[in-house]
Amino acid sequence: MPHSVVQQIESKIRDFIMPIGWIKMGFLCHIGEIYGIKTALRDVFLSNIASLLASYGAHEEIMQGVADTPVGEKSDVHPAVNWSLAFHFLMESTGMMPAEIARRVGTSRGPEKSKTETAFKRLYRALADAERPAWEKYLRDRVGDKGWNGETLEKQLRRLPRTVPQGHLWFLLKVHFNAPITKARIAKAVGGVEAETCPLCKQETETIEHFANCPAVLDAYARVQWGAGLPPVPGGMQTLMLQEEMDGGTGAGVIAVYVGA
């Protein structure tokens, strides 16, 4: 698939999902592994590579056609050329042959499920796995730009229990990428408009930093803190950016109070 076509498709999807850009689209293809969010996007380009290799590999006569095609075939639309491009991309990013990956039994799922997993899924996963480190770095760099420790954030993310509701994980993802649409952000974006005060305490300008320490939020926290076995004071942005060493359950509890607020 030509790069321009991929870009065209991705920009249409991006405009549909977020009117104001706050994150690179590619990252949303990896939020399953990084955040445990179940509704990750599928990478258009990698899907294309994986489906091409999977469907060619499944038919001997097509592969024979590929093998019989003279080297140096020029046409961009010739099937053998497309196969060759996809093959080299896969080899370069994963270091493995398509057939090798298609046969490989997955390790992240149960053995029963992985036996029935399609070649396409295995190929796609191998390609996505190969790209993930770059996207993890993207997350570390983004939070690092705001002065937070990306490594700590990653480590604490992995400690969160699997029971954390999906909505809470989305909330965290948005906070980490500075995405929540607070009144202060709208005022900045629109221009010439006074930022409104926080609807909870009606005292200060509504920003995400204020929200993390809003007296009304802290008051709500104080009421549930003891019963829920949470630390006496929530850590504000420190907690939301997962900068503290705490067990996953406690972290999830504090985050839940913030989400509720």
Residues in contact with Zn ion by CB under 5 A are 198, 200-201, 214
User: Quick one: which of 163, 149, 140 has its CA closest to 238?
Assistant: 149
| Residue 170: partners with Cβ closer than 8 Å, 6 or more residues away | 37
- Cβ at position 199, least distance to Zn ion in Å: 8
- Cβ at position 202, least distance to Zn ion in Å: 7
User: Quick one: which of 229, 163, 252 has its CA closest to 260?
Assistant: 252
Print burial letters for 65-76: b (CB count within 10 Å at least 16), e (below 16).
Answer: ebeebeeeeeee
Beta-bridge partners for 205: 197
- Cβ at position 175, least distance to Zn ion in Å: 16
- Cβ at position 196, least distance to Zn ion in Å: 11
- The answer to whether the CB of 153 falls within 8 A of the CB of 243 is yes
- Cβ at position 214, least distance to Zn ion in Å: 3
Let me know if 112 is exposed, middle or buried by CB neighbors in 10 A (0-12, 13-18, 19+): exposed
| Residue 258: partners with Cβ closer than 8 Å, 6 or more residues away | 171, 211, 212, 217, 234, 239, 240
- Cβ at position 153, least distance to Zn ion in Å: 25
**CB nearer Zn ion, residue 17 or residue 233:** 233
CA distance 139 to 150: 7
User: Quick one: which of 254, 236, 229 has its CA closest to 159?
Assistant: 254
Tell me the residue type at 178.
N
- Cβ at position 211, least distance to Zn ion in Å: 7
Angle subtended at Cα 255 by Cα 209 and Cα 181, rounded to the nearest 5 degrees: 45
| Residue 68: partners with Cβ closer than 8 Å, 6 or more residues away | none
Helix, strand or coil, per DSSP, at residue 205: strand
